A and B are shown apart, each in its own frame.
Chain A
Amino acid sequence: MKQTGLRAIRAPLSATQRLVLGIGSFVLPLLLWCAVSYLPFVWHPLVLVSDPGGVDYFEPGMRVEAGVFADEVKAMRESGAALPQGVPANPVYLPAPHEVAQAFYTGFTTPPEQKDAPWLHQSLWHSMQIIFWGFLISSLIGVPLGILCGTYSALARLHEPFIEFFRYLPAPAFGALAVAILGIHDGPKIAIIVIGTLFQQVLIVANTTRQLDHSLLEAAMTMGNRGARLLLKVVVPGILPQLYRDQRVLLGWAWTYLIVAELIGTSSGITFFITQQARYQHFDKVYAAILMIGLIGLGIDLLLAWLGRRLFPWLPPRSQH
């Protein structure tokens, strides 16, 4: 009994279905957000005061709980003073989609207020450089070490217990230490990304290497391959597609450490923008900045996925989004 249709388990999807569902995965949350923002009867627990009327502590632009507002209207009516005016509103931390879209656009088009301050795209570029160097340094150590650990059991035993222990230590906790050693600019930020990525990387790459078909190794050794030759000619090519996929996942991992990394030392990059705007409750700009990070991360990932299909055309197209 073969199942078909969308409810079938692990059934292959047609190209059209994939596209529609893919778009839907973005459109559905957006619709929900629009509903909450634009339909006052859905949520809107507060009232945005436009005219304080006779209420002494109201100010234009203040958000008041609907119950409090109703009480004050009643009180003013009884005392015969001017009634406060207002419209239903959401809390300040949930701006409407069009406000975020506006903030997104103006973020790139407004020049920085301050002389010598970076433009938003310069801040983003700076953040991307931090990620790049952090991930590069981590990979230069992590990938070779992972491959060696996955190939030689003795090496694995020597490294992995300590790495297992170390990967549970929270990277952000090394912030002050990184500043003390590496200064206040980009050094400690890159170090946090390295600490956050490296230890996972060694373990994941080692695991991937262990998945390599043992008969390949035996065949190669029968022909007299040992050591570096065996690693470079058999092991590395054998795991390359899976290694590429691991690196994609790990790069996403590195991105998640960006915000903690940039809080260390001098304020810089996109994180400075986010924390500063959050402090003054400009949440539309905060969401816009978070969106930018998400879009850049997703963009790079899609690019790498496309590149992966070109690099390893012999792989089945499974698990490729």
Chain B
Amino acid sequence: MFFKALTQRLTRGFQALVVTSALLGSQASGAAEPLKIGYSDWPGWVAWQVAIEKDWFKQAGVAVKFEWFDYSASMEAFAAGKIDAVTVTNGDALVTGAGGAKSVMIMLTDYSNGNDMIVGRPGIKSLQDLKGKKVAVEAGLVEHLLLLNGLKKAGMKESDVTLVNAKTNEMPQVLASGEVAAVGAWQPIAGQAIKAVPGARPLLTSADEPGLIYDVLTVNPASLANRKADWQKVVAVWDKVVAYIEDPKTQPDAVKIMAARVGVPPATYTQFLKGTKLLSLAEGKKVMVKAEGFKSLYGSSQIADDFNVKNGVYKTPQKVDTYIDPSLTNAAAK
């Protein structure tokens, strides 16, 4: 008797759970469904937090829901079709696309301007000093590209250094271990590595090659086709965000909002902002013009594509042009 009652109660609870989760997970395909955007811990993307907290999307008349992720988890969720758009580097948009989750970059948020670094141990003063030594990077990610590009510019060959594959998050410990002469990492991890090994210094940063790493908002092609007007409104909010962060009068408030999102003191966050060049829509429009080389998103993505194929990140070269749609940025740029 007792068991019967218990099992009945449990089944009822379980049924309720199943029904609610089904309701929550159901894809009601109305125009009221908010656009789901995944973002993560990078200054150019945390910037969106300002618009979220100031209700600027509501004012623009578009329903959005920003979901906070770890970077790699955000790409996974996008690849699984669970979010409509995600903030990534232009190179990672290609990697995700080659894996089957095609996307279209509709706007730029920033380019890395010093926040990505190759950090050498004390006594290593330039890339030339790395000849014949070990360097740790996470294979296929942006620091790998940064290093190879830097070696080429310094007149060295890839074979001049031995690459060691390690997780970006663990680079401070890798550098401290003394097993390698240098590591590649982005902020805040690069800063932790410099702190962990006193005398360590950046040998090369993304400021030496602006445009090697662009950061973008990239959208699921189906969502873009069906709800172009809504995406247009999202893009239009960006200029307000950049203005609010760069205006000396409002910058402290902006930094406070961004620092709170990632849980660090505002003073620390100001430093990360320095290594990120936020791009207004007008600046983004100039970059979204077809050209060779790092000055253009097309050229930069082509270089990233060649790098990815050459290093076996994926096998088939991607058609870079199909990954970029400048029309929304062009329409919103003043």
Contacts and interface: CB of A to CB of B under 8 A. Distances in A.
Nearest to B3: A232
Interface of B: 3, 10, 14, 17, 21, 24-25, 38, 41, 49, 53, 67-70, 73, 76-77, 79-83, 169, 188-189, 192, 195-196, 198-199, 201, 256-257, 259-264, 268
Given A179-B80, A279-B189, A114 B70 contact: no
Contact of A276 (B189, B196, B263): B263
B151 to A, nearest CB: 25
B82 A183 contact: yes
Interface stretch (A16-24, A149-157, A258-266, A297-305): A258-266
B314 to A, nearest CB: 17
A137 B53 CA distance: 37
A277 interface: yes
A107 to B, nearest CB: 11
Contacts of A68: 198-199
A267 B69 contact: yes
A78 interface: no
A122 interface: no
Interface in A265-279: 265-267, 273, 275-277, 279
A214 interface: no
Contact of A266 (B25, B68, B257, B259): B68
Contacts of A232: 3
Given A133-B17, A140-B14, A179-B82, A264 B73 contact: yes
A113 B80 CA distance: 32
Contacts of A275: 70
A113 B73 contact: no
A274 to B, nearest CB: 11
29 contacts: A57-B198, A58-B198, A68-B198, A113-B263, A114-B53, A114-B260, A114-B261, A115-B53, A136-B10, A136-B14, A137-B14, A140-B10, A175-B76, A176-B79, A182-B25, A183-B25, A184-B83, A187-B21, A263-B70, A263-B73, A265-B69, A265-B77, A266-B73, A266-B77, A267-B73, A279-B188, A280-B262, A280-B268, A281-B195
Interface in A17-61: 57-58
**Interface size range on A against B:** 35 or more
B77 A280 contact: no
Majority SS at the chain B contact face: helix
A276 B262 contact: yes
Given A64-B198, A176-B80, A182-B25, A281 B192 contact: yes
A179 B256 CA distance: 32
Contacts of A263: 70, 73
Interface of A: 57-58, 62-65, 68, 92, 112-115, 117, 133, 136-137, 140, 175-176, 179-180, 182-185, 187, 232, 236, 263-267, 273, 275-277, 279-281
B260 A266 contact: no
Nearest to B76: A176
Contact of B260 (A92, A117, A183): A117
Contact of B257 (A65, A114, A277): A114
A184 B25 CA distance: 10
A280 B53 contact: no
Nearest to B172: A281
Nearest to A276: B263
B63 to A, nearest CB: 16
Given A114-B257, A184-B77, A263-B70, 15 more contacts: A63-B195, A113-B260, A136-B10, A140-B10, A179-B82, A184-B82, A263-B73, A265-B73, A267-B68, A267-B69, A276-B262, A279-B188, A279-B189, A280-B263, A280-B268
Counting chain B CB atoms within 10 Å of each CB, the highest count among A114, A140, A175 belongs to A114
Contacts of A64: 198
A135 to B, nearest CB: 13
Nearest to A186: B21
Contacts of B73: 179, 263-267
Nearest to A61: B195
Contacts of B199: 57, 68
Nearest to B264: A280
Contacts of A185: 24
A182 B80 CA distance: 10
B169 A184 contact: no
